[in-house]
Amino acid sequence: MITEDYLANHLMKTKGEKLRTTSDNKLLPVNKDACFGDYPNGSRYRKPKLYVPKPAAEKALACTNPAWEKSTVVALNKTATKKSDEPALPRATGIGGKNFSLTNPKPKAPLADPFANARGPRDVSSSEFRRFYDRGDLPIALSHGMQNVVQWKVAVDQLDYHHYLPIFFEGIREKHEPYRFLSVQGTFDMLEKGGAKVLPVIPQLIIPIKTALNTRDVEIIQITLKVLQALVMCSDTIGEALVPYYR
């Protein structure tokens, strides 16, 4: 009971008195700074001195910059003479705290219009004719001399047009030799001697022709138009067979 009364009266702030701690009792021995003893001299924590701000008038007089001094005095005078019921400035009417600058920006280089190349030539992928020729599956060879000539290993009129003619049409978009010369000349030879064998193969020739025209290469388009002209002239019924594909 005695201990509780002591704590209630002296350690706890129960009667409006100042809060006391064990260090306030002068009869108690002084505690050590740490469990190993006191700290060295000069390393003890010192309470920082409270900063007492000087009056505004003294600050203005202590300033050595006349411009700053003048502006500070003016601002202090305005603040001192401002009435409590005077309304504040409306929002965004002052000059401080702006998120933009009145300085002219640096000139930027004008951006050129993007070039889509909608009508330019596209990349030409390798055709099936090149793969078959490199593999040795085509009955054709190149005879070198005063003038290059296509040498057929089998008679042209005895070839299987369903198999070979679409392959030669695939090669008309080639731009590298000897694939270009062999495919174009072989196509003309087969159309010249095909006759009635060309008409049943028309549906298989549409995709190679469209692929060649979609390259948008002037040289390939010229060759393709020449081949189409030879295709229409080789038989009277081929023009009518091409009508459903005019789209």
Among 205, 202, 190, 203, which Cα is nearest to 238's?
202
Is the distance from CB of 143 to CB of 101 less than 8 angstroms? Answer: no
Tens-digit pLDDT string for the chain (247 aa): 777 776 666 655 545 556 566 666 777 777 777 777 777 777 766 677 766 666 655 555 555 555 555 555 555 555 555 555 666 666 666 666 667 777 788 888 888 877 777 777 888 888 888 999 888 888 888 888 777 888 888 888 888 889 989 999 999 988 888 888 899 989 998 888 888 888 889 999 999 999 998 888 888 999 999 999 999 888 888 888 888 888 7
Residues 168/187, Cβ–Cβ less than 8 Å: yes
Residues 233 and 226: beta-carbon distance below 8 Å: no
Q: How far apart are CA 94 and CA 32, in angstroms?
A: 59
H helices, E strands: number in the chain: 9, 2
- The pLDDT value recorded for residue 75 is 53
What local confidence, expressed as pLDDT, does residue 225 receive? 92
> In the prediction, which pLDDT does 105 show?
81
